[in-house]
């Protein structure tokens, strides 16, 4: 008599008890595998009204017959059950529980013939006896009937769940056989065919054939594909508000693919969005597709459109504001008044308001108003406007970094942020005050004013600098920003070891400049870009007409392109360059050292230490130049989780005179590194090797930094 037959003959009270245990497994243990839905029942169960005493650390667990895993691994596998026994006591039900999930653990590792029992071997002692049997691996996979996909493609789906749990096992024939995983894989194959229009496809339950020694399992998945259906003739029913070609184009991304119920619903939503973006607030679209009426597997589809009237934005009703001025929110929404209703305009205003950091929660609900108007119901929950921040860090050149910031995002209740910051590094310290107005005079221009002071030690000299920089920026398009700025600064060079001293240029000077910058940014993520590009061009000029004691014209350009190779790896290309040409009273070669270009370091040619690439004085101290170029290429690939590896090649130069700008005297670097992605950018550790070092150059350099290299 087997266990299952004894289970069926238990008296009613024991049947109820086992039902409670089954509910415990379902509700308390989410990872119960499908291949063991009904486990063996114990011969005797305790009375339900006599709870066992809590163990409180006195539980002893004995494993018998277990050799495939260490005791620590087995304890980890049933840690939740052991914790339950410690808390609620050791009884037959809990012993059964532990054995069941111990057996579960083995099955998930491919031990298809395993059995485990749990017994109370004395006061406070649980004995778990395991009959492991051999580990079963996948021997062969057959997918008869697969025509639209190769056998390898279908196998990838069938064994996908198993591969996810055993990512280091490369060969299919070395994967453990886990029936639950294969069942999940078969469901993925079913979804694959359904998503590609094989609406009549029949994917049978996978068949398993174990070898005589139970060490291999041959898998067979029978497939009857049937025809592949496509969207056929499309009919629009309703008022012809817009040309048929425009309506069809709005859905073409879905209707040009195989027919599925999911795609017909997606096409319906896009058509409805098409109308709503043009002011039809009450637009409704229904869609029907009759597979039975298809000809040559082309399914006729009808879209019934009730567009309704065109609506316009009216006003807004505000709720939840306490410290933020209602006028501020009204001003953000006022631009919508009178415009044709468009959900995307609401989304833009939502992002604009939430990015201020003033609101913890924000909801903008459009409500129908009389006269074909739409009123916005705005409900907010304000966030804390004032914030202190402390930062600690380290970088190769900067050394230890510590910072302290204070920000008031609602300064003078005007919803304009004012911030104060102090930063100390091994190179020096700086402080700044920054005030921002993202809506300058309630326009689309963004105004910033930065007042700063810094004392810093570079290689070969130190400096004290004090400056004021106001700027005005505006987005021409969603991806294109143009800005103008003024910079007035007083610089004093101190503690110089540069020889001869004439190489420093002016050691105390006032530099007043005006500049323009243009940025085109199509990156998918500014902090951790993996796709897209960014290009920036900046020009600035310092002139005696502005009261400047030094005069120059400077231009810099940067372009970076990010190209995904696989889902988790990608290539990045970068190119940068700049020229600063002394003018007027500032002669070529006499530009102040702090206005020159330097190269080398974690964000340029990584085979050189920071600022070490380029012209030097007689003591081998870097003195910078009037022109530079940098070129980078980098390939990143996954290692584990958010940890990535990288290999790279860099090239660049620094030229002493602006007239020398070009590709002459390029220096090179090749190397590898590690990346760990964080929300604000990757932590990077790189080593760059100099393939042809000169007598005064190092063989390579290590770099530790935060943020993308280029």
pLDDT by residue (tens digit) across 402-436?
999 999 999 999 999 999 999 999 999 999 999 99
Instruction: Please give the helix or strand (H or E) that residue 96 lies within, else none.
Output: helix 92-108
| Percent of the residues in the chain that have a pLDDT greater than 70, as a whole number | 93
| Interval 343-350 mean pLDDT | 95
What pLDDT, in 10s, does the model give residues 439-483?
999 999 999 999 999 999 999 999 999 999 999 999 999 999 999
Of 228, 244, 71, 223, nearest in space to 155 by CA = 223
What pLDDT, in 10s, does the model give residues 555-569?
999 999 999 999 999
- Asked if residue 123 has pLDDT above 90, the reply is no
| Percent of the residues in the chain that have a pLDDT greater than 90, as a whole number | 88
Q: What is the pLDDT of residue 168?
A: 87
Q: What is the pLDDT of residue 446?
A: 97
Q: How far apart are CA 350 and CA 333, in angstroms?
A: 9
Does residue 5 sit in helix, strand or coil? helix
Cβ-based neighbours of 400, under 8 Å, separated by 6 or more:
392, 393, 394, 425, 426
What pLDDT, in 10s, does the model give residues 601-627?
999 999 999 999 999 999 999 999 999
pTM as predicted: 0.71
* Backbone region of residue 441 per phi and psi (left: phi > 0; alpha: psi in -120 to 50; beta: other values): left
| Interval 331-353 mean pLDDT | 94
> ∠ CA 521-526-529 to the nearest 5 degrees?
95
Cβ-based neighbours of 473, under 8 Å, separated by 6 or more:
445, 446, 448, 481, 482, 483, 484
User: Do 258 and 230 form a contact (C-beta atoms < 8 A)?
Assistant: yes
Kindly report the backbone phi and psi dihedral angles of residue 682, in degrees, each rounded to the nearest multiple of 5, phi listed first.
-80, 145
Q: How far apart are CA 273 and CA 415, in angstroms?
A: 33
Mean pLDDT of the chain: 91
Burial of 220 (C-beta count, 10 Å sphere; 0-12/13-18/19+): middle
Domains identified in the chain and CATH numbers: 3-131 (3.10.20.310), 137-224 (3.10.20.310), 230-306 (3.10.20.310), 312-382 (3.10.20.310), 438-706 (2.40.160.50)
What pLDDT, in 10s, does the model give residues 587-600?
888 999 999 999 99
Q: How far apart are CA 183 and CA 160, in angstroms?
A: 11
């Amino acid at each position: 008599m087997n266990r299952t037959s004894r289970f069926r003959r238990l008296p009613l009270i024991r049947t109820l008890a086992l039902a409670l245990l089954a509910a415990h497994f379902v509700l308390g243990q989410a990872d119960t595998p499908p291949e063991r839905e009904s486990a063996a029942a114990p011969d005797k169960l305790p009375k339900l009204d006599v709870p066992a005493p809590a163990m409180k650390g006195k539980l002893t667990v004995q494993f018998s017959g277990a050799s495939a895993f260490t005791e620590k691994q087995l304890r980890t596998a049933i840690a939740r059950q052991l914790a339950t026994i410690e808390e609620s006591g050791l009884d037959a039900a809990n012993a059964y529980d532990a054995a069941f999930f111990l057996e579960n653990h083995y099955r998930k590792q491919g031990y298809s013939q395993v059995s485990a029992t749990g017994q109370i071997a004395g006061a406070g002692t649980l004995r778990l006896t395991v009959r492991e049997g051999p580990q079963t691996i996948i021997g062969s996979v057959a997918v008869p009937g697969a025509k639209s996909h190769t056998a390898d493609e279908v196998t990838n789906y069938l064994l996908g769940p198993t591969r996810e749990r055993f990512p280091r096992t490369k060969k299919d024939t070395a994967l453990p056989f886990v029936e639950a995983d294969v069942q999940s894989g078969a469901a993925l194959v079913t979804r694959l065919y359904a998503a590609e229009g094989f609406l009549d496809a029949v994917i049978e339950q996978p068949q398993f054939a174990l070898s005589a020694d139970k060490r291999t399992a041959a898998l067979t998945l029978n497939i009857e594909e049937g025809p592949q259906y496509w969207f056929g003739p499309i009919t629009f029913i309703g008022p012809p508000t817009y040309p048929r070609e425009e309506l069809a184009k709005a859905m073409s991304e879905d209707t040009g693919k195989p027919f599925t119920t999911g795609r017909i619903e997606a096409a319906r939503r896009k058509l409805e969005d098409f109308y709503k973006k043009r002011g039809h607030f009450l637009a409704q679209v229904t869609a029907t597709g009759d597979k039975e009426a298809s000809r040559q597997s082309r399914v006729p589809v009808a879209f019934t459109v009730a567009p309704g009237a065109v609506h316009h934005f009216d006003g807004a009703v505000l709720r939840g504001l306490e410290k933020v001025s209602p006028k501020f929110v009204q001003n953000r929404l006022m631009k919508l008044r009178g415009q044709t209703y468009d959900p995307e305009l609401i989304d833009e205003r939502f992002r604009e308001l939430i990015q201020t950091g003033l609101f913890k929660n924000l909801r903008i609900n459009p409500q129908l108003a009389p006269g074909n108007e739409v009123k916005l119901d705005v409900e907010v929950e304000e966030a804390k406007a004032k914030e202190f921040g402390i930062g600690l860090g380290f970088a190769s050149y900067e050394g230890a970094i510590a910072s302290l910031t204070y920000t008031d995002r609602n300064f003078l209740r005007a919803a304009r942020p004012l911030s104060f910051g102090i930063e100390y590094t091994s190179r020096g310290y700086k402080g700044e005050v920054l005030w921002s107005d993202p809506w300058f005079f309630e326009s689309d221009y963004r105004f910033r004013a930065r007042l700063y002071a810094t004392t810093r030690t570079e290689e070969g000299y130190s400096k004290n600098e004090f400056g004021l920089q106001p700027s005005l920026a505006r987005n021409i398009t969603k991806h294109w920003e143009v800005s103008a700025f003024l910079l007035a600064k007083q610089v004093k060079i101190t503690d110089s070891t540069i020889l001869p001293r004439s190489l420093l240029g002016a050691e105390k000077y006032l530099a007043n400049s005006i500049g323009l910058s243009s940025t085109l940014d199509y990156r998918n993520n500014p902090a951790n870009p993996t796709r897209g590009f960014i290009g920036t061009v900046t020009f600035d000029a310092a002139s005696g007409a502005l009261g400047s004691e030094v005069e120059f014209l400077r231009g810099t350009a940067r372009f970076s392109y990010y190209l995904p190779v696989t889902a988790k790896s990608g290539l990045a290309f970068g190119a940068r360059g700049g020229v600063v040409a002394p003018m007027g009273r500032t002669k070529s070669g006499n530009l102040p050292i702090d206005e020159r270009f330097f190269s080398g370091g974690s964000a340029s040619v990584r085979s050189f230490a920071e600022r070490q690439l380029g012209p030097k004085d007689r003591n081998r101290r870097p003195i910078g130049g009037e022109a530079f170029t940098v070129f980078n290429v980098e390939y990143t690939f996954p290692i584990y989780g958010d940890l990535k590896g990288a290999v790279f090649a860099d090239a660049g130069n620094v030229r002493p005179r602006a007239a020398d700008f070009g590709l002459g005297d390029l220096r090179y670097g090749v190397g590898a590194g590690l990346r760990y992605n964080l929300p604000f950018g990757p932590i990077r550790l790189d080593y760059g090797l100099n393939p042809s070092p000169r007598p005064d150059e190092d063989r390579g350099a290590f770099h530790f930094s935060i943020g993308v290299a280029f």
